[in-house]
Structure 1
Amino acid sequence: MRRSFKFSALLALLAAFVLATPALAEVKTKEIQYQDGDTTLTGLLAWDDAAEGKRPGVLVVHEWWGLNDSAKSRAVKLAEEGYVAFALDMYGDGKVTDHAEQAGEWATQIASNIELWTKRARLGLEVLMAQPEVVAGEAAAIGYCFGGSTVMQMAYGGLPVKAVASFHGSLPAAPESVTSVAPRVFVAHGRDDAFIPAEQITAFQDALDRTDAKWEMTIYSGARHGFTNPDAASYGIENLAYDETADKHSWAAMLRLFEEVF
């Protein structure tokens, strides 16, 4: 009897422990199709299915290669951090390439039309904010390369985000028509990025000061363009290289910013 009682008590204790232990993260993903006129866009939503309650949303904007695995993996990482993330599609029709000439053509088609550029970003943001897991009004946007430039255009265009983070973006300066920038701005830049001349960095920073933006920029020594993408060197372009230290440090800085704004 005594042994049976002790065993029953142990089972009860274990059951209580299991019930009191938080559920482990269980990141789910699903593709979501949405439209821009006749163009079908397909993004990837990522969220922790084990989390309770609503959470802030983070939009992820891909490099000029299109919505590839690199951008999708960032959405998953954000979900692991407790956010609802949506990796949007800026090109549509499943466009992804490994060829710089083609990527540059697609990116230029979008970037040469500010109205279209901002619209595509806004459509992705609307998909994110429509998710039932996302807290109304609690959004940020991050982007890589072409995506970094895109999130800056979101900030300049007054899209409703509390923060933007640009990783190895082209650093477009705010036009004179923009008199204020509301979101917090974080910029991660590679010191050895040969694509961005020094005068372009200065013009970008001066424009942020002119608009009274709250911004910070970290420049990583030795880092080149594409430093967050582990596959950067595979494209065969000398200025593209992964930098593990810059990648990890810039990601941590972004998370600290999100902790402050949300």
Structure 2
Amino acid sequence: MDMDMNTDANANHDQITLETAAGPAAAYVATPAGGTGPGVLVLHAWWGLNDDFRRWCDELAAAGFVALAPDYRAGRVARTIEEADAMRGDFGVEQTQSIVESAHDELLRRSEGGAVGIVGASMGAAWAFHLAETRPGQVDAVVAYYGISDADWSAIEARVLHHFGDRDQMDPLEDAEAMQSELEKAGVHARLEVYAGADHWFAEPSRTEHDAEAATLAWSRTLDFLRG
């Protein structure tokens, strides 16, 4: 992804520890040089908190946001689908939920305003919708990269932008279109962007599915959407 031209190259980053009901959990935080800004929670895909998602935080901070990415895989990083699928069984839903919710609480303390944006990828997108559903007054916008959910859309107050490739073989485009239809029926301000030739994980440079052109366009749209 190309860095936005109106960004702050002096953004800072740090590793912190979240205290959660499931025990301590690490998180990566990136802040603008000025130290403050609107908050964005970054929720990683099933690989774990790898450099792709840290880079998302850095680029968000460079664009003026306080970005926080919790690690709900305890420092482990999968590099293949088989590794990620096997690792998924080692982490329960309640444990992940506790970490995601604690990260949201921490970001609310650190950012400007009473609500934050969320950018989630695949599994992380599903957790983004969970927060938007269960904490509607504290989530302003959700940007979902190739993520499907069966949330109660009528409970969501956040604006929604979701990015999908038309060659996605994990979550087919028709599922994204059906979700968009349900969002619209529920009265949610939602937009579906489709990328020709792109597959699942197209926005992650470490993946063989990475599509640089689609990723750059999606990131530009993401920043514009988060800025409102």
- How far residue 40 of structure 1 moved from its aligned partner, in angstroms, is 2.3
1:181 maps to 156
**Matched letter for residue 97 of structure 1:** A
Give a deviation string over 1:143-173, Cα, whole Å, max 9, x none.
112112221222222351100101122x113
Q: Could you tell me which of 35, 45, 48 is aligned with 1:66?
A: 48
Give a deviation string over 1:55-107, Cα, whole Å, max 9, x none.
10111111110011110010000010011111111233x12221323322444
**Matched letter for residue 129 of structure 1:** L
**In structure 1, C-alpha distance between the alignment counterparts of 2:51 and 2:213, rounded to whole Å:** 21
Higher relative contact order (CA 8 A, sep 6+): 2
2:32 maps to 48
**In structure 2, C-alpha distance between the alignment counterparts of 1:63 and 1:198, rounded to whole Å:** 18
2:83 maps to 102
**In structure 1, C-alpha distance between the alignment counterparts of 2:149 and 2:88, rounded to whole Å:** 14
Give a deviation string over 1:125-151, Cα, whole Å, max 9, x none.
1121222xx213141010112112221
Unaligned runs of 5+ in 1: 1-23, 234-240
- How far residue 108 of structure 1 moved from its aligned partner, in angstroms, is 5.8
Q: How many matched pairs?
A: 220
SS for the counterpart of 1:179 is helix
**In structure 2, C-alpha distance between the alignment counterparts of 1:126 and 1:102, rounded to whole Å:** 30
1:135 maps to 112
- How far residue 208 of structure 1 moved from its aligned partner, in angstroms, is 1.1
Unaligned runs of 5+ in 2: 1-7
Q: Could you tell me which of 176, 192, 197 is aligned with 1:222?
A: 197
**In structure 2, C-alpha distance between the alignment counterparts of 1:97 and 1:173, rounded to whole Å:** 26
**Matched letter for residue 116 of structure 2:** A
Worse-superposed segment, 34-43 or 241-250? 34-43
Structure 1 segments (4+ residues) deviating >6 Å: none
1:193 maps to 168
Matches within 5 A, 1:204-223: 204-223=179-198
Higher Cα Rg: structure 1 or 2?
A: 1
**In structure 1, C-alpha distance between the alignment counterparts of 2:24 and 2:169, rounded to whole Å:** 35
| TM-score normalised by structure 2 residue count | 0.87
Q: Taking every aligned residue pair, what percent have the same amino acid on both sides? A: 25
Matches within 5 A, 1:93-172: 94-107=75-88, 113=93, 116-131=95-110, 134-159=111-136, 160-169=138-147, 171-172=148-149
Does the aligned pair in 2 maintain the 1:180–1:213 contact within 8 Å? no
